[in-house]
Amino acid sequence: MKAKDARILLVEDNPDDVELTLRAFRKHNLANEIIVARDGEEALDILFQRGEESAGQRATDLVLLDLKLPKVDGLEVLKQIKSNSKTQLIPVVVLTSSKEEKDLVESYRLGVNSYIRKPVDFEKFTGVVMQLGLYWLLLNEVPPEEVGEG
């Protein structure tokens, strides 16, 4: 997989944060396919290809996950991703405004790859998104797809 071909799942219920993230990717010319899930249940449907809209879509390569979500919270989404052999190797970056230490600790206990608190300032936020894109899509080595299947 080439970095520009990576498919990103952004799991975020706040429309302003969705727009900021998408703008930040565009600003830094990160032209990846970004799928937006507005709650945890929708994210799981996309990841596990449940439902007509998700059936047959190619796999997600990176998940940007908020924690405070409707229907299914982010920690439960993370738990399901990391406990399933088909999805456990997908890098998951928690991108949240939560300052609760228990969220940080539980995220790592469940297998998160990175935990980032969202900056409030737009310029700082776009910088964070650019660094995320550069690291996870260009620098990070991912295992071959065959390893996660089975």
Q: Provide the 10 A C-beta neighbour count for residue 56.
A: 7
Q: Is the separation of the CB atoms in 9 and 64 below 8 Å?
A: yes
Q: Which residue, 73, 74, 59, is CA-closest to 9?
A: 59
Task: Give the pLDDT of residue 55.
Answer: 56
The average pLDDT across 93-121 equals 91
Q: How confident is the model at residue 31 (pLDDT cuts 50, 70, 90)?
A: low
* pLDDT reported for residue 56: 60
* Model confidence pLDDT, tens digit, residues 5-24: 778 999 999 998 899 888 88
pLDDT of residue 150: 46
**Which domains, from first to last, does the chain contain?**
3-139 (3.40.50.2300)
Cα dihedral 138, 81, 32, 130 in deg (nearest 10)? -50
Question: What angle, rounded to 10 degrees, do the helices at 122-133 and 15-27 form?
Answer: 60
Question: Which range scores top for mean pLDDT: 48-57, 97-106, 120-129?
Answer: 97-106
pLDDT score, position 59: 81
Distance of CA 100 to the CA centre of its chain: 20
Where residue 132 falls among pLDDT bands split at 50, 70, 90? confident
